[in-house]
Structure 1
Amino acid sequence: MMCWRRQRESFSSWVLILVLFALREIQTAHHKHEMKFTIVVNSQVLLDHIAVALIDDIFWGSYDKSNHQFSVKAAWISEALGMNLTEEIQHLVLDHERGYQFFIHHLTTNDTNTERNHTLQIRFDCELDGGIQLSSLAKYGLDGEDLIEIEGLDGQWVVLNPRAHNFKYIAESPFWTKVRKYYNKRYCVEVMQRILGKSSMKENVPPKVYVSRQDFPNGTIRFYCTATGFYPPSILLQWKKGIDDAVWGKESSSGTLPNSDDTFYVRISLEIPLGDTGTGYACVVDHSQLETPTVYPVPEKPSKRNLWSIALSILAAIVMISCFVVFTKWKRKKAGTTSQTQLEGHFPSATSTIPLQ
């Protein structure tokens, strides 16, 4: 009995360890949730209202004034959010349309051109790392100019444009401070956690890296380093020469771009100065799913001897394939001739004389 109890306690301990490990794997990644709103108003008439929501730069939901519906990317996202939260977001976006109109009217009271269109831009975001909130941001802009922003739940509003001075006193009131913190918790953090809880977004993937070089007739040498299929999108690629040698040359980057499978892609290139042989270079890749920054050497330029070997190998392969094709055709032709001869031996031709009885 005591032995069985010890075994059960040991088994329970292992189960607990496995569960904690699984939760840690899900929660350790760094994630960012962004919501961006664009509102266009003319003479207190709402002309347009567009909203997009992204997690780690991956689009998951949007709102368009034309249909007055907040739409999600896939059905499983609605299931992850639940009916109550989905309806809350829908009503929230609709209810705020009138508030946005009032806000724009308040900011443009002294505008003499009453027929002018005004565009309000709002951005909210929050970041999590290991389930712990790192930061949050609320930022407002009008007609392409920054107005006011606040970083952190307990931060201070910073006025970026004189137009927003009066709004600062409203935003700092206890009521709106409480509303802002609730919105951050409910619609930024909780929404992100629910979606990540049922999404492949939480499955972190290391990058696949490809390094190549291109030698031009004028002596220019260019290197390429491509990382693809990785998640999360945060990644660092840089060139290295030797151990401590500085790298000189013309660098360019594609920037981090999304793939169709919700992973990411980035490519950097380096054009080295004329006269540099291009030896000793490597691409260093640092990503959260790599234990340490990994070094990928740039391939050396093939020597003329190697080029001749490659050319001869290709030529030999072509000759062998040609011989095989010719032999196959000859064999088929020979087989057809043999069959025809055998048939003629069994059956007399139309011109053959049949002996009389």
Structure 2
Amino acid sequence: MVNWKRGRGSFSIWLLILVLFALREIQTARHKHEMKFTVVATSQALLDHIAVALIDDIFWGSYYKSSHQFAVKAAWISEALGANLTEEMQHLVLDHERGYQFFIHHLTRNDTKIERNHTLQIRFDCELDGDIQLSSLAKYGLDGEDLIQIEGLDGQWVVLNPRAHSFKFIAESPFWTEVRKFYNKRYCVGAMQKILRNSSMKENLPPDVYVSRQDFPNGTIRYSCTATGFYPPSILLHWKKGSDGAIWGKENSSGTLPNSDDTFYLRISLEIQPEDTGTGYACVVDHSQLETPAVYPGTTSEAQLEERFSSSIASPAIDLQ
């Protein structure tokens, strides 16, 4: 039987210090913009072209060859970008269709089956912390195989597939280097900054956290700590035992996954062997919308858990002081 509760508890002061240091990597101002392009074509003709744009894993814009229109998710995003930038991005996607066709033709020029369909995948992304750019990436793939990529504005192109050696010389030319840097500044960083500064992609929300315990006939205990409904997606969720923080079990993570309402979900499970009584375990949670880390103890008594669950009284987690 699985029971759910919201718990309260505390850790020792020195453990709190260790946790706070671990949480320094969570930055409320960090955002990532991704633009993904998928092109289907033969060496002679472009058949389909789809593009999507996401900020912090939230979809905000798209392009479909069937409509020849770059569309945004909401009217406020159009207002945030402004008419000029939106129109530029529309023309940019259309103009690049010819370039993508040339790219596929160039890479497949030695194929004997000229009518064979090929799929070109391109990814551009950039990451900011406030107004400081942390990273950028441009990556190309063909028919499910990575071809070539570059990380950082001043990085070097890395060939991942021999077919891309000839393209490397083109990509490294001064002209295309400046074009890539301009695109990063104008359409990746610039568009993201306009959207984030003029509106909000999603209301920032703290996680709802639930701890469950499941007892198996062989004596094994499984604890699960679930955080859901939070935004932004950066979160720290892990199990600790006692004041020494030792873990004596197998820990599994669902990974941070999107909910249907554009919030996020994460579940960490811990399986404890029969020789362990299961006492002293707690889930540590930190998120940008929590002032301090919160601790949700695992249960030490199924009867106590059942009593709390039946009463339908959810006690909020206590913030560490």
Structure 2 SS opposite 1:188: helix
1:219 corresponds to: 219
Do the aligned residues in 2 keep the contact of 1:281 with 1:297 (CA within 8 Å)? Answer: yes
Shift of 1:184: 0.5
**Structure 2: gaps (5+ residues):** 1-26, 312-321
Do the aligned residues in 2 keep the contact of 1:211 with 1:226 (CA within 8 Å)? Answer: yes
Shift of 1:36: 0.3
Shift of 1:180: 0.6
1:119 corresponds to: 119
Structure in which a larger fraction of residues adopt helix: 1
What amino acid sits opposite 1:95 in the alignment?
D
Do the aligned residues in 2 keep the contact of 1:28 with 1:131 (CA within 8 Å)? Answer: no
Greater shift in the superposed pair: 192-201 or 167-176: 192-201
Alignment of 1:2-13 (within 5 A): none
What amino acid sits opposite 1:262 in the alignment?
D
Alignment of 1:95-110 (within 5 A): 95-110=95-110
Shift of 1:291: 4.3
**Structure 1: gaps (5+ residues):** 1-26, 315-357
The number of residues matched between the two structures is 283
What amino acid sits opposite 1:224 in the alignment?
S
Q: Distance in 1 between matches of 2:275 and 2:211?
A: 21
Shift of 1:115: 2.6
1:57 corresponds to: 57
Q: 1:196–1:245: structure 2 CA closer, same or farther, 3 Å change rule?
A: closer
Shift of 1:185: 0.7
Greater Rg, structure 1 or structure 2? 1
Do the aligned residues in 2 keep the contact of 1:38 with 1:119 (CA within 8 Å)? Answer: yes
2:182 corresponds to: 182
Shift of 1:239: 1.2
Q: Distance in 1 between matches of 2:167 and 2:30?
A: 33
Q: Distance in 1 between matches of 2:42 and 2:104?
A: 10
1:161 aligns with 2:156: no
Q: Distance in 2 between matches of 1:39 and 1:251?
A: 40
1:318 corresponds to: none
Q: Distance in 1 between matches of 2:198 and 2:300?
A: 45
Do the aligned residues in 2 keep the contact of 1:201 with 1:262 (CA within 8 Å)? Answer: no
1:285 corresponds to: 285
Over aligned residues, Cα RMSD in angstroms? 2.2
Greater shift in the superposed pair: 206-215 or 178-187: 206-215
Q: Distance in 2 between matches of 1:186 and 1:94?
A: 17
Q: Which structure exhibits the higher relative contact order, with contacts defined as CA atoms closer than 8 Å and separated by 6 or more residues?
A: 2
What amino acid sits opposite 1:188 in the alignment?
C
Q: What per-residue deviation string (whole Å, max 9, x for no partner) do you get for residues 276-321 of structure 1?
A: 2211101112333344443221122235xx69x96xx99xxxxxxx
Q: What per-residue deviation string (whole Å, max 9, x for no partner) do you get for residues 178-228 of structure 1?
A: 111111011101111111123333753332222121223443321111112
Q: Distance in 2 between matches of 1:61 and 1:136?
A: 19
1:144 aligns with 2:134: no
1:253 corresponds to: 253
Q: Distance in 2 between matches of 1:146 and 1:115?
A: 22
Do the aligned residues in 2 keep the contact of 1:157 with 1:172 (CA within 8 Å)? Answer: yes
Structure 1 SS opposite 2:191: helix
Greater shift in the superposed pair: 211-220 or 74-83: 211-220
Greater shift in the superposed pair: 239-248 or 164-173: 239-248
TM-score by length of 2: 0.82
2:240 corresponds to: 240
Q: Distance in 2 between matches of 1:245 and 1:52?
A: 43
Q: Distance in 2 between matches of 1:221 and 1:244?
A: 20
TM-score by length of 1: 0.74
Alignment of 1:1-357 (within 5 A): 29-201=29-201, 203-244=203-244, 246-303=246-303
Shift of 1:91: 0.9
Q: Distance in 2 between matches of 1:179 and 1:103?
A: 16
Greater shift in the superposed pair: 290-299 or 28-37: 290-299
Shift of 1:30: 0.3
Q: 1:228–1:28: structure 2 CA closer, same or farther, 3 Å change rule?
A: closer
Do the aligned residues in 2 keep the contact of 1:30 with 1:232 (CA within 8 Å)? Answer: no
Structure 2 SS opposite 1:94: helix
Shift of 1:245: 5.1
Q: What per-residue deviation string (whole Å, max 9, x for no partner) do you get for residues 296-352 of structure 1?
A: 21122235xx69x96xx99xxxxxxxxxxxxxxxxxxxxxxxxxxxxxxxxxxxxxx
1:335 corresponds to: none
